[in-house]
């Protein structure tokens, strides 16, 4: 006969395995022609929100072609991360604005 406490542990473990981990929203700012932070750790499923605080249009454009987010002045844009890997990105209008996302599984 199985002790009651071991059934409780198994039930708790099964419940924990069925609840997905909560994804984070990570904010990245574009201001004074700079992307901050320049290096951002994230996880698959997280949402990246770029906030353009400049009066100029910017983009968050992945060098590998995965995404290209347009960011009008004083507006924001977002993306849900779908795969792991390191992604370098930049602003197409201001190529000196560069940053990196390090996305873990």
**pLDDT on residue 22:** 79
pLDDT, average across residues 75-91: 97
Q: What is the mean pLDDT of the chain?
A: 88
pLDDT above 70 for 36: yes
Architecture of domain 23-104: Sandwich (2.60)
Per-residue confidence band for 9, with pLDDT thresholds at 50, 70 and 90 = low
Render pLDDT for 52-77 as a digit per residue (tens, 0 to 9): 999 999 999 999 999 999 999 999 99
From 68, 74, 38, select the one nearest 56 (Cα to Cα): 74
Cβ contacts of 90 within 8 Å, gap of 6 or more: 61, 63, 97, 98, 99
pTM of the model: 0.79
Domain-wise residue ranges, the chain? 23-104
């Amino acid at each position: 006969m199985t002790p009651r406490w071991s059934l409780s542990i198994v039930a708790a473990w099964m419940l924990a395995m069925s609840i997905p981990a909560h994804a984070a929203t990570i904010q990245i700012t574009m201001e004074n022609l700079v992307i901050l932070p320049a290096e951002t750790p994230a996880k698959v499923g997280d949402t990246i929100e770029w906030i353009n605080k400049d009066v100029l249009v910017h983009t968050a454009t992945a060098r590998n072609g995965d995404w290209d987010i347009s960011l009008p002045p004083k507006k924001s844009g977002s993306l849900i991360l779908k795969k792991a890997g390191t992604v370098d990105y930049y602003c197409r209008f201001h190529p000196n604005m560069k940053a990196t996302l390090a996305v873990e599984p």
